[in-house]
Each structure stands twice: as structure tokens, then as C-alpha cells.
Amino acid sequence: MKPESEQLVRETWKQLEPVSDQLVSAFYARLFASNPAAAALFSNTNMTVQRKKFSNMLAEIVRAINDPDVLIREVAASGRRHVNYGVIDRDYDDVGAALVWAIGETLGPAFTPEVSAAWREAYALLAAVMRRAAAREQQH
């Protein structure tokens, strides 16, 4: 990632973290509306607990964003786990769109085109690592 993008992601996360449950709730609502099959993957999930897990994962990713070794290791492990949850390749696009939308809704006017581009860049990196790890996991 470009250093400017990393900085924007870290700065906006400081604004998002205190309202992360609102952010994650908006994310899941958008994701499930756009991809009902993804909603089915969570049919037996305690969504209060899941929102907290997702928020914690976002916080960890932001903290590790400038440490590629840690970031890739953690994100790849997540990609491998998601194979077992039934996540398919197409789901990554829907997740990215829902996440960036939810960030925009939560940030409001602070969601500038530059901030949008930074989060899209961050998500593209994460999704690429997760997809590759998932593909390798499926080969086993």
C-alpha cells in the first residue's frame, strides 16, 4: 500500500473505532441485502459476538497495516478459515463493497474520495491475500 493510503486508513480508523459496532452493523446489513447467500452463512451465528469479532479484526488489520509480515500471516490464516465457513471467491467482492459503503455511511462528510480510495486499496490487498490462501487451502 502507498504510505499515504496507510496513513488515511489509520487516521479514519481512529474516528471509526469508537463507533465500530455501528459500522459493523451497517456492513452486515448491506452485505446481507446484496448477497442473501452470505446471510445464510451466518444463520446460526450470534451476531452480537460476530460484530465484535469483526470489529476486533479490523482494529488488528489497521494496527498491522505497516507490518507486512504480520499482516500477511494473519490475513492468510483468516482466508484459510473462511474456506471452512463456506465463503466463495465472489463473496470477497460483496464484502469489499459493503465494507467501503459502511465506512462511508459511518464517516459521513469525512469520507472523501481519498479516504474511499485508501480503504479500497487496503481491502484489495487483504482480499488478494485471503483469496490466495483460500485457493491453496481448497487444493489440500
Indicate if the pLDDT at residue 120 is higher than 90.
Answer: yes
Residue type at position 110: A
pLDDT, tens digit, for every residue of 1-40? 899 999 999 999 999 999 999 999 999 999 999 999 989 8
Mean pLDDT for 117-124 is 95
The pLDDT of residue 32: 96
Indicate if the pLDDT at residue 140 is higher than 80.
Answer: no
The pLDDT of residue 79: 87
Per-residue buried b or exposed e for 72-111, using 16+ beta carbons within 10 Å of the residue's own CB? bebbbebbbebbeeebeeebbebbbbbbbbbbbebbeeeb
- Domain architecture of the chain: domains with CATH: 3-139 (1.10.490.10)
Neighbours of 112 (CB within 10 A): 13
Among residues 19, 24, 47, the alpha carbon closest in space to that of 98 is found at 24
pLDDT, tens digit, for every residue of 48-107? 999 999 999 899 889 888 888 888 888 898 889 888 888 888 889 999 999 999 999 999
